Amino acid sequence: MNSPSLSSSGLPVGPSSPPVNEALTPLASHQRALGWSDQAALWFSLGVGLLVMQVGAYLVPAVGTREALFAIVLGSCVGAGLLAWTARIGCASGLSSAGLMHASYGSLFARLPVGLNIVQLIGWTTFELVIMREGTAAIAQQSFGITLSGASGVLWTTLLWGAVLTALMAGSMLTLVRRFVSRFGLPLVIVSLLWLSWQFASALSAKGFAAFWQRPGDGSMGMMSALDLVIAMPVSWLPLVADYARHGRSRRGSFGGTWLGYVLANIWCYALGVMVVSVAEPGVSLVTALLLAQGGLLALGLILVDELDNAYGDVYSGAVSSHSLLPRWSVRRWGLLIAVACTLLALVLPMHSLEPFLLMLSSVFVPLYGVILGRLGTGGASFALQARRIDWPAALAWLAGIALYHALAQLWPQWGSALPTLAVTFALAWLSRPAATSRP
């Protein structure tokens, strides 16, 4: 007689057994393979990207150089701190992001934020494919005189990157992180960033660094709005972090590795975006400006390859969340489907402005994780999935947080939206914790 096989969660699965929902099953300690350095490398790599540099370029000349730097450092530290806090919860519980939502909001209501997370991950992956396609077209045009901006060029470059992404989804996430990202991808990306930073810092020095440093903003964005924009990027990763941190070997390593890796990458890429836009001629795109730098072709090519792990991270987490809703399909099967779907969407969806997209995501996920941190992020929290289908205090706190975020943006923009909303939803969730979660 055949013995039952084991799922990736270590649970028996027989021919007549219902499918194991791996996203909602805590990961056993013997299955955890990611150490501190693995997670630092992962989140540094995920924090690096052309999209981050582009958002950094939005800060100037809206705010002055010194104000932009202050917003970048403070916003990165706060945003990465939220990621690290969530990573610690994911490691302590062994639950995926979808599992944390179920534990906080109840099994029925959690389907709403899980579904929104899947939608935003598909959107981010599509954005990543578009930016990789446009980067490839710019490299081909600048270096080889080959035009890939036509219909056929768009088709083949999109399919190329989509095929690579789909092939990565057929492999193991742990293998990709530990063997490729940590050992090979990270050193190459750091060298690329160092080279580009040197090139643009030299260009700024030649133009007059003092004038760059003292340049005022044009007043089109307030200081707190700039801070919201910086925080928006790490916040967009909040619904993914537990999917990786649950594989961490220690809570301290998950917290420290996530925070250090992401905060360094976010500050570096935002600041590089500010430098690039300050040096480039008016009307020149970020990618073109990077290419025009000495050695920019090689550096941009390496950063472009690094965009792949961002897209992979989005698809993998989207697959875990989708599996939580329909466990009959494995995480790998969901990943392959999402990768193909995003490739097709990248062929037809235009590249919209990133700023409103990022701030819209913040308005949903800042209060969502304010509630999760308030419920699960303090001492004595229980990580058991709720028997209740809807935790009304948690659900109402989240919805009130979304309304507060938009009200603050419209009525009191000088106060910012992200930090006040996070504080209010955290307090509401902590005060309304069920009795079972408040015992030490």
pLDDT digits (tens, 9 = 90+) for 58-78: 898 889 999 999 999 999 999
Kindly report the number of other CB atoms within 10 A of residue 405's CB atom: 27
- Mean pLDDT computed over every residue of the chain: 86
pLDDT at 437: 41
Per-residue pLDDT tens digits for 117-171: 998 899 889 888 988 888 888 888 877 778 777 788 889 999 999 999 999 898 8
Query: Is the residue at 382 inside a domain?
Result: no
Q: Which CATH number covers residue 320?
A: 1.10.4160.10
Per-residue pLDDT tens digits for 157-184: 999 999 999 998 988 887 777 677 777 7
Q: Answer whether residue 351 shows pLDDT above 70.
A: no
Closest by Cα among 145, 167, 146 to 157: 146
Domain around 235: 34-353
Which pLDDT band, with edges at 50, 70 and 90, does 12 fall under? very low
Q: What is the DSSP string of 135-203?
A: HHHHHHHHHH-----SHHHHHHHHHHHHHHHHHHHTS-HHHIIIIIIIIIIHHHHHHHHHHHHHHHHHH
Query: Is the residue at 27 inside a domain?
Result: no
Report the alpha-carbon distance of residue 284 to residue 339 in Å, rounded. Answer: 31
Kindly report the number of other CB atoms within 10 A of residue 16's CB atom: 6
Which pLDDT band, with edges at 50, 70 and 90, does 8 fall under? very low
Query: Is the residue at 298 inside a domain?
Result: yes
Query: Is the residue at 248 inside a domain?
Result: yes
Report the alpha-carbon distance of residue 145 to residue 334 in Å, rounded. Answer: 39
pLDDT at 270: 95
Query: Is the residue at 368 inside a domain?
Result: no
Query: Is the residue at 411 inside a domain?
Result: no
Report the alpha-carbon distance of residue 241 to residue 180 in Å, rounded. Answer: 19
> How many structural domains does the chain have?
1
Query: Is the residue at 381 inside a domain?
Result: no
Per-residue pLDDT tens digits for 241-278: 999 999 999 999 999 999 999 999 999 999 999 999 88
pLDDT at 17: 59
Strands 12-13 and 5-6: antiparallel
Query: Is the residue at 416 inside a domain?
Result: no
Q: Answer whether residue 200 shows pLDDT above 50.
A: yes
Per-residue pLDDT tens digits for 18-41: 678 988 999 988 889 899 999 999
